Amino acid sequence: MIKVWGRSTSSNVQTVMWTLAELGLENERINVGGAFGGNDTADYLAMNPHGLIPVLQDEPDVTLWESTAITRYLLAKYGDESIYPNDPAVRAKGDMWADWAKGTFAPVLMYKVFWTLVRTPKADRDMAMLAESVEQLKTLLSNAERLLAKQPWISGDQLGYGDLIFGHLLYRYYTLPIDRADLPALQAYYDELTARTAYSENVMISYESLRVE
């Protein structure tokens, strides 16, 4: 059975768990990281020398870390043409947006906005930086809006790798108390995601336990 080490409130773990659910793969998740600890033990560091979550083990001999690498592995091994195209040119269309989501969008949303509003005490919050970052999100998401106005999914005609890396971030974007631009195509896309059982059960998980007041 596939095993995943990581807490359910981690956005990176959620990417992997959502992928497993979309693929219909039986798995066992083991709480590690955050309040659970356990990611600094010798056994865990033998699986991931960086001590981060998630880690996935596909028995008997595949152990992986980094959520994007894990997601690509799962799609390549267990997915079909509809979710992970064989044609490199077609697949790259989703890959580009996945890289953008991970490298450009996520740092602003997660490390500046989410971290400020949820993980930083009120007295220590940089409100000027927060306001600037919220405006930056509007600009970034306008690019996704233009794409989604032309096609149903970030990856193309079907949900794919780009959606798994970008889409899970939208739960936090739409539930944080921030000013959001009017982006109807993005809203419709998010509504489609939330209607998927795999998404609602593995991504739409309360992060209140992470909050610092």
Distance CA 193, CA 4 (A): 23
Under the banding of pLDDT at 50, 70 and 90, the label for residue 75 is very high
Write down the pLDDT at residue 5: 98
Under the banding of pLDDT at 50, 70 and 90, the label for residue 161 is very high
Does the predicted TM-score (pTM) go above 0.75?
A: yes
- Domain 2-78's class? alpha beta
User: pLDDT tens digit string along 175-210?
Assistant: 999 999 999 999 999 999 999 999 999 999 999 999
Cα→Cα distances 4→26, 107, 181, Å = 11, 24, 36
Return the structure tokens found at 115: 């971290």
- Domain 88-200's class? mainly alpha
CATH 1.20.1050.10 domain position(s) in the chain: 88-200
Share of the chain above pLDDT 90, in %: 98
Cα→Cα distances 163→117, 158, 160, Å = 25, 9, 5
Return the structure tokens found at 209: 């336990």
Distance CA 42, CA 38 (A): 9
Distance CA 12, CA 97 (A): 17
pLDDT at 79 over 90: yes
Distance CA 49, CA 22 (A): 29
Average per-residue pLDDT for the chain:
97
CATH 3.40.30.10 domain position(s) in the chain: 2-78
Distance CA 186, CA 111 (A): 22
Contact by Cβ (8 Å): 62, 78: no
Contact by Cβ (8 Å): 166, 144: yes
